[in-house]
Amino acid sequence: MAQHNYSFQGMKDNMVRAVGRNLDISPKESIEICTYVRGRPLTQAKMLLHQSIDMIRAVPLRRFSNGAGHRSGMGPGRYYPKACSAILKIIESAEANAKNKGFNSNDLKLIHIAMQIGPKNWHYGRQRRSIFKNSHIEVVLAEVKGLSDKKAEHKAASGKSVNKNAKPAAKDVKHNDKEVKTAHTAAKKE
pLDDT in tens, 104-151: 989 999 999 999 999 988 888 888 888 889 999 999 999 998 877 776
pLDDT digit string, tens, across residues 74-109: 888 889 999 999 999 999 999 999 999 999 989 999
Asked if 130 and 171 sit in the same domain, the reply is: no
CATH number at residue 77: 3.90.470.10
- pLDDT > 70: what percent of the chain? 78
Asked if 169 and 132 sit in the same domain, the reply is: no
Is residue 4 domain-resident? no
Q: Which among 112, 127, 145 is the end of a domain?
A: 145
Reported in sequence order, the residue ranges of the chain that DSSP labels E, i.e. its strands, are 15-23, 59-60, 77-78, 108-124, 129-143
Is residue 160 domain-resident? yes
pLDDT at 2: 46
**Res. 188: pLDDT tops 80:** no
pLDDT at 168: 46
Helices 42-53 and 81-101: angle between axes, nearest 10 degrees: 150
Domain holding 104, by residue range, is: 15-145
**Res. 3: pLDDT tops 60:** no
Is residue 31 domain-resident? yes
* Prediction pTM value: 0.73
Cβ atoms 46, 88 nearer than 8 A: yes
Asked if 156 and 92 sit in the same domain, the reply is: no
The rounded distance, in Å, linking the Cα atoms of 156 and 139 is 31
* Alpha-carbon separation of residue 38 from 64, 72, 188 (angstroms): 17, 22, 71
